[in-house]
Structure 1
């Protein structure tokens, strides 16, 4: 009699653990990337989802809400050869989880490197006076440049803001 009860309890525990490993609850503003036997299978969206235990594996949990990257000041040279030091902030969110996970190994580091290069490029096309007077135009130019280049990562730049611009050397000609 006791052996039968023990077998039933073990069976119930195994069944319960298997049942809970089949159902995955994805919170809002998140997506889970699922691989089946080592290859991409599908994306789980918020809510309850079913997966096959031991065959399917969640490889990455992707946040879909807006995130912030704050860049320390970097040196750049303006169109009129003035050397400036300025930092900037970008607000971004992941729009394509598949690209975000599989295109590059570290998408945030890639985004940071890309933004620094694009920042220097945008500054090199502006005159010093434009940086000081028309900050909104420069911010819009930064956002547009970043969006154009960050699209392949599955990331959308919602806002880019240039922080305080410090003139290091002004070429007076």
Structure 2
């Protein structure tokens, strides 16, 4: 009776040893007699006790490598230090376990070589202003290089680029010189535009003055032609009428002056009035 109980307990223990429950975030690598036998996915799995054994428990969560610092020389011979970040996850645990001994170190070494090569193909300005193509190229090459290791590279980016003190100082001097050049160009363009506007204003004023003079000349010519026509039609009466009219206008302005106290009339003013009246009478129908 006791032997049967012990046997039953032993069978239960052996059965439990053959049951493996794998978490959602892991995969188990099972060996049978020292040889790869199976990869256990998340959930309930059954193995043969004493023959099969779980040798590796691999996390399939995405992981991040420590920031990688890599020295490189750009195409325009500038020494820089790039900071790179890499994210990856294991998709084929059997390859990760049996084809590489230290996956993190292997990925870091591969990234360093690829980044050094890619940075040597472009100028410093491109590294600082347009990293999209650079990051895409690094990711593609890293994925190809690590394909046999059973991993998937999800992100590989150059986060920061640092320069040595001498290069940084030279760049600052160049930047200040460029700013000074732009300021000088802007000032010159402003002065040029101001001169153009002044010249345009003077030209506009001259054109207006010339137009005014032309209009005045036309008016004077019209008046002269009118007077000449009147003289041709009426002879000296028209001349006397015009003279009388101008004398009357002058006397009116003189009388209206605030400083006027004594007005001296010319002796022929009456004659002028008479000529004007006669001329006006002749013009009446």
Comparing both chains, which one has the higher relative contact order based on Cα–Cα distances under 8 Å and sequence gaps of 6 or more?
A: 1
Paired residue for 1:26? 22
Q: TM-score, normalised on structure 2?
A: 0.55
Instruction: Pick one of 32, 38, 49 that aligns with 1:36.
Output: 32
Q: In the alignment, does 2:68 pair up with 1:65?
A: no
Paired residue for 2:261? none
Paired residue for 2:162? 166
Deviation, 1:52, is: 0.7
Q: TM-score, normalised on structure 1?
A: 0.88
Q: In the alignment, does 2:148 pair up with 1:152?
A: yes
Q: How many residue pairs align between the two structures?
A: 168
Alpha-carbon distance in structure 2 between the residues aligned to 1:138 and 1:93:
22
Which is richer in strand? 1
Which is richer in helix? 2
Deviation, 1:118, is: 1.3
Alpha-carbon distance in structure 1 between the residues aligned to 2:4 and 2:104:
50
| Unmatched segments (≥5 aa) in structure 1 | none
Alpha-carbon distance in structure 1 between the residues aligned to 2:87 and 2:106:
15
| Unmatched segments (≥5 aa) in structure 2 | 172-285
Alpha-carbon distance in structure 2 between the residues aligned to 1:79 and 1:113:
22
Instruction: Pick one of 139, 143, 167 that aligns with 2:135.
Output: 139
The CA RMSD measured in Å over matched residues stands at 1.9
Alpha-carbon distance in structure 2 between the residues aligned to 1:62 and 1:19:
24
Q: In the alignment, does 2:10 pair up with 1:17?
A: no
Instruction: Pick one of 105, 111, 114 that aligns with 2:110.
Output: 114
Larger Rg: 2
